[in-house]
Amino acid sequence: MRSAPRPPASFLPLLPEVRALAPLMSLAAELVREAHRLGAQARPLTPALAPLLRAMNSYYTNKIEGQHTRPYDIERALVKDFDADKAQAAKQRLALAHIGRGGGT
C-alpha cells in the first residue's frame, strides 16, 4: 500500500533561517573570489594540459563503452598512425571521434 504524498509544508524550511544567511553569503563570496584567483593561476598551464586531458577523457569514455583502447593507441591515432588490425583501428577512430578530431583514413 502506497502512503499518501507528503504536503509541501512538511519539507519546510527549504531555506536557511534569515540569521544564517549572512554568514553563508559571506562564505559564498569568498569561495567565488578564491575560485577566480585559482583560475587565474591555472590559465597558463591549461593549453599544455588540454591535449593530455582530451586523450585521457577519450580513454575513459572508450573504456566505459567497452572499447578498451590503450593510451598508446590513442596517441598513435592522433598522428593518423592506425593499427593494421581493423578492429583496433576502429577503436582508434572511435577515440578520435570522442576527442573531436574525426577518424579519417
Query: How many domains is the chain partitioned into structurally?
Result: 1
Give the pLDDT score at 38. Answer: 87
Q: Does pTM top 0.75 for this prediction?
A: no
pLDDT band at 26 (very low <50, low <70, confident <90, very high): very high
What is the per-residue pLDDT across 35-83, written as a single tens digit (0 to 9) for each?
999 888 777 767 778 778 888 888 888 888 888 888 899 989 999 999 9
Q: Considering only residues 101 and 104, tell me which one the structure prediction assigns the higher pLDDT.
A: 101
Q: Give the other-Cβ count within 10 Å of 74's Cβ.
A: 22
Q: CA–CA separation, 92 vs 74, rounded Å? A: 6
Residue 105 lies in a domain: no
Give the pLDDT score at 18. Answer: 76
Residue 23 lies in a domain: no
- State the residue range of the domain holding 79: 48-99
Q: CA–CA separation, 60 vs 67, rounded Å? A: 9
